[in-house]
Amino acid sequence: MARQRYRNLDPNAKTKTWKEVRRWQKERKGKIKDLSFRIGQSEHKQQELLKNNQSEVTITWIGHATFLLQMGGMTIVTDPVWATRMGFTQRLEAPGLAIEELPPIDVILLSHAHYDHLHVGSLKKLRGTPLVLVPEGLASKVRKLGFSTVHELPWWGSHTIGQLEFHFVPAQHWTRRTLTDTNTSLWGGWVLKRTAEAMPVGERDTPTIYFAGDSGYFEGFREIGARFPGIHYALMPIGAYEPEWFMGMQHVSPEEAIQAFIDIGGNEFIPMHYGAFRLADDTPKEALDRLLAEWQRRELELGQGKLRLLKHGETLVAERSGD
């Protein structure tokens, strides 16, 4: 029986051919890049807060697309990857916190099945008995890793756990782990927000967080913003965009990431998906420089938007309305 193959919302956003892959590989041989720049490690890591926190909303960047989030009394990890290498290349910088330093995990969120977002070794080392939320088509693989409570969601699907709603939203990407399983599971991002029932009148609000996962620029960002007004923190990818003729379908450039941030109506932009692995031809410094230049150029259009550049292992304690 043929397996279901998923597609992007834009029918023109298709996986690159092997001929195009070979063209890219030939092109990149002529490039010389300086990879010495490092994002750096936070000098004030807050392991004790993360271990004992029950009330604050925190966002800790581990590296790449891996965040430790705490909200609604739960500890959540996105796309957990503590791998020391990706393919044939070494990790550029160590994760911000060792996996052993993490508190027990309540919820794991996976955006898709690519190796830099779903790392089997890291998943197996996480402490606790987490519930795992995955894109449609990926549950059986995750259950085989030993996780007993796994829920898979389609685009715009949601799952409520305690005081929080987890909404799976579209992205423009693709996925593959073997030569035969291209696009047999879905890909997307996650919106985390407090349930209306858990929000008594007059109590300070819990900010909504959008984790974009991995995506090229597409019209879906506007719809995400329309469906989820009031996104406060947007965790947005900015790296692995060069060459743009090849990567553009699947990875936003720094400039496109800012446009996506505007589209969703975000308040604070936290860049990710740069600085840990070399997945394309751009460097972490190039991605950051382009982000800062575009942010300055569009400052008036962004209005009250804030740019939050986190170090690896840095914890942001979220502001909440009413404070």
Tens digit of pLDDT for each residue in 256-275?
A: 999 999 999 999 999 999 99
CATH for 66:
3.60.15.10
Sheet holding 158-161, edge to edge: 158-161, 164-170, 188-194, 208-211, 231-237, 268-272, 306-307
pTM, two decimals, is 0.95
Of 301, 300, 296, 253, residue with least CA distance to 274: 253
State residue 198's pLDDT score.
Answer: 60
Query: Quick count: other Cβ atoms within 10 Å of Cβ 196?
Result: 7
When pLDDT is averaged across residues 161-182 and rounded to a whole number, the result is 95
Over the stretch 28-78, which tens digit does the pLDDT of each residue have?
Answer: 988 999 999 999 999 999 999 999 998 899 999 999 999 999 999 999 999
Tallying the residues shown for the chain, one arrives at 323
Task: Please tell me the total count of domains within the chain.
Answer: 1
pLDDT value at 125 more than 90: yes
Residue 202 pLDDT exceeds 50: no
Q: Let me know if residue 239 belongs to a domain.
A: yes
- 299 occurs within a structural domain: yes
Range(s) of the domain holding residue 309:
42-317
Per-residue confidence (pLDDT) for residue 201, from 0 to 100: 46
d(CA 238, CA 257): 6
Q: Could you give the maximum distance between any two Cα atoms of the chain, in Å? A: 61
E strand residue ranges, the chain = 58-63, 66-71, 74-78, 85-86, 89-90, 107-109, 131-135, 150-153, 158-161, 164-170, 188-194, 208-211, 231-237, 268-272, 306-307, 315-317
Give a yes or no: residue 148 inside a domain: yes
Residue 26 lies in a domain: no
Does residue 19 form part of some domain?
no
